Amino acid sequence: MNKSLSRFTWLLGLALACRLAAMVLLPLMDTSEPRYAEIARIMAETGDWITPYFDYGVPFWGKPPLSFWSQALSFKLLGVGEFPARLPSLLATLGILWLVFSATRALAGRQTAWLAVTIYGTSALGFVAAGAVLTDPFLTFGTTLTLVAALRIGLSGGSPLWGYLLFAGLGIGLLAKGPLAPVLALVPLGTWLYLEPSARIRHIPWVGGTLLALAISLPWYIAAELKTPGFLEYFIVGEHFLRFVDSGWNGDLYGSAHRAALGTIWWYAVQATFPWGLAAAALFVAAVRQRGWHFFRPEGWRGLLLAGCLWPLVFFTFAGNILWTYVQPALPPFAMLLAMALQKSDSRWSHRAVVACAGLIPVVILVFTLVVHYRPGSAKTEKQLVEFTRKSGGAQAELLYLGDRPFSARFYSAGSAKSVDRRELDKLLGDRPARNFYLAVPKEHIDSISAPPAGHLQELFTNRRYALFQAFRKPDADSL
Query: What distance lies between CA 384 and its chain's CA centroid?
Result: 24
Assess whether 277 and 295 both reside in one domain.
Answer: yes
Positive or negative: CA dihedral 68, 206, 314, 308: positive
**pLDDT tier at 2, thresholds 50, 70, 90:** low
Closest CA to 363 of 124, 15, 10, 115: 15
Assess whether 409 and 278 both reside in one domain.
Answer: no
136-156 helix and 180-195 helix, angle to the nearest 10 degrees = 20
Distances (CA, A) of 43 to 29, 39, 433: 20, 6, 35
Assess whether 321 and 448 both reside in one domain.
Answer: no
Does the pLDDT of residue 48 top 80, yes or no? yes
- In single-letter form, the type of residue at position 162 comes to W
Domain that holds residue 418: 383-479
The residue from 326, 347, 374 where one domain ends is: 374
Q: What is the pLDDT of residue 453?
A: 45
The residue from 321, 355, 374 where one domain ends is: 374
Phi/psi-derived region of residue 281, left when phi > 0, alpha when psi is between -120 and 50, beta in every other case = alpha
Assess whether 139 and 270 both reside in one domain.
Answer: yes
Positive or negative: CA dihedral 154, 147, 272, 105: negative
Assess whether 388 and 365 both reside in one domain.
Answer: no
Runs of H (alpha helix) within 241-330: 243-245, 264-273, 276-291, 301-316
Show Cβ contacts of residue 368 under 8 Å, excluding neighbours closer than 6 positions: 22
Assess whether 298 and 238 both reside in one domain.
Answer: yes
What residues are paired with 53 via a beta bridge?
Answer: 59
Does the pLDDT of residue 431 top 90, yes or no? no
Across 107-118, average pLDDT: 93
Q: What is the pLDDT of residue 253?
A: 62
- Model confidence pLDDT, tens digit, residues 394-419: 888 899 999 999 999 999 999 999 99
Burial class, 391, CB count within 10 angstroms (exposed 0-12 / middle 13-18 / buried 19+):
exposed
Strand pairing class (418-420; 399-402): parallel
Does the pLDDT of residue 375 top 60, yes or no? yes
User: How many C-beta atoms lie closer than 10 Å to residue 209's C-beta?
Assistant: 20
Asked whether the bond before 31 is cis by omega within 30 degrees of 0, the reply is yes
Does the pLDDT of residue 435 top 50, yes or no? yes
Question: From CA 176, how far away is CA 140, in angstroms rounded?
Answer: 9
Assess whether 21 and 81 both reside in one domain.
Answer: yes
Q: What is the pLDDT of residue 355?
A: 85
- The answer to whether the CB of 123 falls within 8 A of the CB of 331 is yes
Predicted TM-score (pTM) of this structure: 0.92
Closest CA to 266 of 334, 196, 314, 331: 314
Assess whether 357 and 447 both reside in one domain.
Answer: no
Assess whether 368 and 421 both reside in one domain.
Answer: no
In this predicted model, which residue has the larger pLDDT, 447 or 330? 330
Could you give the 3-state DSSP secondary structure of residue 300?
Answer: coil
Residue 458: its H or E element: strand 455-462
- The answer to whether the CB of 53 falls within 8 A of the CB of 43 is yes
Q: What is the pLDDT of residue 1?
A: 43
Assess whether 160 and 47 both reside in one domain.
Answer: yes
End-to-end CA distance of the chain: 81
The residue from 354, 374, 394 where one domain ends is: 374
**By mean pLDDT, which of 87-96, 245-254, 283-292, 421-430 is the weakest?**
245-254
Question: From CA 163, how far away is CA 165, in angstroms rounded?
Answer: 5
What average pLDDT does the structure give for the chain?
87
CA torsion 301→167→101→21, rounded to 10°? 140
Show Cβ contacts of residue 404 under 8 Å, excluding neighbours closer than 6 positions: 419
Q: What is the pLDDT of residue 442?
A: 94
**By mean pLDDT, which of 149-153, 205-209, 244-248 is the weakest?**
244-248
Show Cβ contacts of residue 158 under 8 Å, excluding neighbours closer than 6 positions: 149, 152, 203
Question: What is the number of domains present in the chain?
Answer: 2
**By mean pLDDT, which of 4-8, 120-124, 206-210, 233-237 is the weakest?**
4-8
Assess whether 289 and 163 both reside in one domain.
Answer: yes
- In single-letter form, the type of residue at position 275 comes to P
Question: From CA 160, how far away is CA 163, in angstroms rounded?
Answer: 5
Assess whether 236 and 125 both reside in one domain.
Answer: yes
